[in-house]
């Protein structure tokens, strides 16, 4: 075998001297066989080819790929986002923009997203799997009225919720808003079941569907772990006693024009152990409302605001006695406030502020006087809402009830009037305000919201010299 290197060296030197591709050789038991490379084999050895090799589309520059993407429809752009990471990084921003998926960035907050079209719902999943993903402050979803489109949109949202990692130390979405305009409820049930994975703190459900199609909230009672603190419900919904599983809810708002006795009775069965603030925008039978409120001893604030001044809340003489020792703020029509204070088995020692609203477009002296007679002596703030079309005589009559409240240690008085700014009426209105204030010698802060009298503050300070100038506010109502 000693002769093999010499033969290879000779051949190597010969071909290297003539700049020719080295020969191929093989060593056998009988000796060494040398095979000279022909012209075609030399080209293949050095990577040459008679025809140029085609360039891969994946190696195209980003600006050329983007020009290609701009000439495609939305469905084909969606397909390009799944080809490769290179194509996804280029096509996803343009796809999100074309689909109407826009991130609204706010100062010192995470971004928010509003979804209203099927394309924007589909874009949510594309954005979720891209490098652009980040936790959201709010997710606003408006489902289509068409049942087919709403089902498709709910399917996209369901896929997004299923792709979120759970459990998570931080919420993926802080606030979720669902606006439901049609009667589609099949897919929405799946959405409600999986909303808990978003780890949200605030849930807002707005149901604008047909009145006879109440949205059933029972699926949310199957949540495994809820961080929900606040829930706002608009429209007709169906509650369930299983809502007691939401031990963390502290704020509950109901927006409904009116509820039948059947739906109201279902609400009366709900127990939220940590409920502290309750707001009702609409009308509810007083008996069901008082039963519901009586189950929540941690309540601190109760607000009942009719949808219009002409609405009246059905009262009942069978309201049970309740104990709400932590109540601090009470707001509602004058008849409801009277019924609420009557149902308390003991005076509310922490009740410091009462807001009285009109009942059937009227705020008369006798009704307000009854409220003052039932109010605790440590009341510090009274807010009176005079109706739009009330006349000046009712204002004068209302001033007569102040004598029943002269013992109150009242330090703040707020008067809201949204009537006409007729000059003659305004003059009588001013005289009534002065009369109200003089009956409360301990008052140090006065706020008046009304339509007229731009010089009201100066005149109040002239007549009521015991008021400090820094605590007298006159606000022009919108």
Query: Which secondary-structure segment (H or E) carries 77?
Result: helix 74-80
pTM score over 0.75: yes
Determine how many CB atoms are found less than 10 A away from the CB of residue 28: 7
Tell which residue, 120, 47, 110, 43, has the closest CA to residue 78: 120
Q: Which residues pair with 317 in a beta bridge?
A: none
- Model confidence pLDDT, tens digit, residues 213-225: 566 666 666 666 6
Q: How far is CA 121 from the centre of its chain?
A: 17
Q: Name the stretches of the chain with pLDDT < 70.
A: 1-55, 167, 183-187, 209-225, 238-245, 257-260, 309-311, 316-317, 361, 388-408, 418-429, 450-455, 475-478
Tokens (6 digits) for 287: 């008996």
Neighbour-count burial for 172-184, b at 16+ CB within 10 Å, e otherwise: bbbbbbbbbbbeb
Residue 26 pLDDT: 47
Residues facing residue 254 across a β-bridge:
233, 280
From CA 277, how far away is CA 330, in angstroms rounded?
10
Q: CA 409 to CA 139: how far, in whole Å?
A: 46
Region at 173 (left for phi over 0; alpha for psi -120 to 50; beta for the rest): beta
Burial of 3 (0-12, 13-18, 19+ CB in 10 A): exposed
**What pLDDT sits at residue 328?**
94
386: Cα within 13 Å, side-chain hemisphere: 27
State the Cα–Cα distance between residues 151 and 134, nearest whole angstrom: 26
Q: Which DSSP string do the residues of 138-201 spell out, in sequence order? A: EEEEE--SSHHHHHHHHHHHHHHHHHS-SS-SS-SEEEEEEEE-SS--HHHHHHHHHGGGG--S
**Contact between residue 209 and residue 177 where contact means Cβ atoms under 8 Å apart:** no
Q: Please, is 345 exposed, middle or buried when counting C-beta atoms within 10 Å of its C-beta (0-12, 13-18, 19+)?
A: exposed
Q: Two tokens at 309? A: 């001044």
Helix and strand numbers (H, E) in the chain are 15, 19
Q: How far apart are CA 366 and CA 376, in angstroms?
A: 18
* Per-residue confidence (pLDDT) for residue 458, from 0 to 100: 76
pLDDT at 7 (0 to 100): 40
The predicted structure's pLDDT at residue 395 = 58
Question: Torsion angle of alpha carbons 267, 268, 273, 274, nearest 10°?
Answer: 60
Locate 341 and state its tokens. Answer: 């204070």
pLDDT tens-digit profile of 355-378? Answer: 988 877 677 777 787 888 888 878
DSSP string computed for 274-342: T--EEEEEEE--HHHHHHHHHT-TT--EEEEE-SSTT--PPP-TTPPPB--TT--EEEEEHHHHHHHHH
Round to whole Å and give the CA distance between 301 and 326: 9
Q: Are strands 215-216 and 237-238 parallel, antiparallel or unpaired?
A: parallel
Cβ 338 vs Cβ 315: under 8 Å: no
Architecture of the CATH domain 58-351: Alpha-Beta Horseshoe (3.80)
**Residue 422 has what pLDDT?**
55
């Amino acid at each position: 075998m000693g002769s093999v290197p010499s033969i290879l060296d000779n051949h190597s030197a010969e071909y290297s001297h003539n700049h020719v591709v080295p020969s191929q050789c093989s060593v056998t038991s009988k000796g060494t066989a040398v095979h000279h490379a022909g012209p075609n084999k030399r080209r293949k050895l050095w990577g040459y080819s008679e025809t140029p090799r085609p360039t891969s589309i994946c190696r195209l520059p980003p600006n050329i790929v983007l020009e290609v993407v701009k000439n495609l429809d939305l469905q084909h752009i969606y397909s390009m986002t799944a080809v490769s990471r290179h194509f996804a990084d280029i096509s996803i921003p343009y796809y999100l923009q074309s689909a109407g998926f826009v991130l609204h960035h706010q100062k010192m907050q995470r971004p928010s997203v509003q979804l209203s079209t099927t394309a924007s719902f589909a874009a949510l999943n594309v954005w979720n799997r891209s490098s652009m993903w980040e936790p959201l402050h709010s997710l606003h979803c408006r489902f289509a009225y068409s049942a087919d489109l709403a089902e498709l949109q709910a399917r996209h949202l369901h896929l997004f919720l299923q792709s979120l990692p759970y459990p998570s130390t931080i919420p993926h979405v802080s606030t979720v808003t669902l606006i439901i305009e049609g009667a589609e409820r099949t897919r929405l049930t799946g959405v409600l079941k999986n909303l808990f994975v978003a780890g949200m703190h605030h849930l807002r459900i707005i149901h604008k569907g047909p009145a006879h199609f109440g949205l059933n909230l029972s699926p949310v009672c199957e949540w495994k772990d809820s961080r929900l603190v606040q829930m706002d419900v608009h429209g007709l919904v169906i509650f369930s006693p299983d809502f007691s599983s939401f031990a963390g809810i502290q704020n509950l708002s109901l927006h409904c024009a009116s509820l039948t006795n059947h739906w109201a009775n279902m609400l009366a069965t709900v127990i939220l152990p940590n409920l502290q603030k309750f707001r009702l925008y609409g009308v509810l039978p007083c008996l069901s409302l008082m039963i519901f409120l009586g189950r929540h001893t941690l309540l601190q604030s109760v607000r009942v605001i009719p949808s219009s001044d002409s609405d009246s809340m059905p009262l009942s003489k069978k309201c049970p006695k309740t104990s709400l020792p932590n109540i601090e703020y009470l707001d509602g029509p004058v008849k409801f406030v009277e019924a609420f204070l009557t149902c308390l088995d003991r005076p509310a020692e922490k009740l410091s502020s009462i807001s009285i609203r009109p009942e059937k477009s009227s705020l008369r002296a006798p009704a307000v006087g009854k409220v003052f007679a039932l109010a605790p002596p440590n009341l510090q703030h009274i807010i009176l809402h005079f109706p739009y079309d009330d006349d000046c005589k009712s204002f004068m009559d209302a001033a007569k009830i102040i004598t029943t409240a002269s013992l109150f240690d009242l330090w703040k008085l707020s008067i809201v009037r949204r009537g006409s700014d007729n000059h003659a009426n305004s003059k009588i209105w001013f005289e009534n305000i002065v009369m109200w204030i003089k009956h409360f010698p301990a008052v140090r802060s006065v706020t008046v919201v009304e339509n007229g009298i731009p010089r009201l503050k100066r005149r109040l300070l002239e007549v009521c010299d015991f008021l400090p100038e820094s605590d007298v506010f006159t606000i022009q109502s919108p």
